[in-house]
């Protein structure tokens, strides 16, 4: 029996590096000063995936995040900054998940479906969050009072909480024997 290769799956590594590259391009479009930290982030993320090192992976994600912050502080347009932020979060989460799958299952196991579902879910949540952030940006930039936007968001959170909790109030989980 051969030993398990504890490297991350190729699909997870590829998706993470693709997202990091999207961050590099988006941050560069937002601000030229974000090129160096974004390039360092892509490099560190790639080396971290190759060596299966969470420390290098975290440093790479931090460098990508620094490029997003730098692009935002330098007054970059919101669209590429949001795309760079989404790419950073997606790259870090997908790479971290790929490292976990590699540690647990090994590279030889067919984990493409697991990685794809995780990546799609992460992307869906990220796109929704980015859309909410962009909508708030447009609402505040459009002359709406900030308090109205905050109250609208609080109302949406209360509505989602009420809808989510409405079906669970009468359920009880039976544990052990009944007397």
Residue 6 has φ and ψ, to the nearest 5°, of -90, 35
In a domain, 78, yes or no: yes
In a domain, 173, yes or no: no
The whole-chain average pLDDT of the chain stands at 85
CA distance 26 to 171: 48
In a domain, 154, yes or no: no
In a domain, 51, yes or no: yes
Residue 109: is it exposed, middle or buried by C-beta count within 10 angstroms (0-12/13-18/19+)? middle
Contact assessment for residue 23 and residue 88, using Cβ atoms and an 8 Å cutoff:
yes
- The predicted-structure confidence for 5-17, as pLDDT tens digits, reads as follows 888 999 999 999 9
In a domain, 19, yes or no: yes
Nearest to 87 by CA among 41, 52, 153, 43: 41
Of residues 88 and 161, the one with the higher pLDDT is 88
Residue 165: is it exposed, middle or buried by C-beta count within 10 angstroms (0-12/13-18/19+)? exposed
- The predicted-structure confidence for 128-157, as pLDDT tens digits, reads as follows 888 888 887 887 776 666 666 666 667 777
In a domain, 98, yes or no: yes
In a domain, 139, yes or no: no
CA distance 38 to 85: 11
∠ CA 165-171-175, nearest 5°, is: 130
Domain with 107, as residue range(s), is: 10-125
CA distance 129 to 134: 9
State yes or no: pLDDT of 175 exceeds 70: no
- The predicted-structure confidence for 100-125, as pLDDT tens digits, reads as follows 999 998 878 888 999 999 999 999 98
Number of domains in the chain: 1
In a domain, 158, yes or no: no
State yes or no: pLDDT of 163 exceeds 80: no
């Amino acid at each position: 029996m051969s030993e398990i290769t504890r490297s991350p799956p190729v699909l997870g590594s590829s998706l993470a590096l693709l997202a990091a590259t999207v961050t590099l391009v988006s941050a560069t479009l937002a601000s030229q000063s974000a090129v160096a930290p974004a390039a360092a982030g892509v490099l560190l993320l790639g080396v971290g995936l190759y060596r299966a090192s969470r420390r290098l992976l975290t440093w790479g994600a931090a460098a990508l995040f620094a490029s997003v912050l730098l692009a935002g502080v330098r007054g970059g347009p919101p669209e590429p900054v949001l795309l760079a932020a989404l790419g950073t979060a997606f790259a870090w989460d997908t790479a971290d998940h790929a490292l976990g799958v590699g540690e647990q299952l090994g590279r030889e196991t067919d984990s493409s479906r697991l990685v794809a579902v995780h990546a799609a879910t992460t992307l869906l949540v990220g796109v929704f969050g980015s859309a909410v952030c962009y909508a708030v940006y447009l609402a505040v930039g459009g002359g709406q009072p900030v308090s109205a936007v905050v109250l609208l968001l609080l109302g949406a959170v209360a509505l989602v909480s009420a809808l989510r909790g409405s079906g669970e109030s009468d359920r009880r989980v039976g544990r052990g024997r009944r007397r």
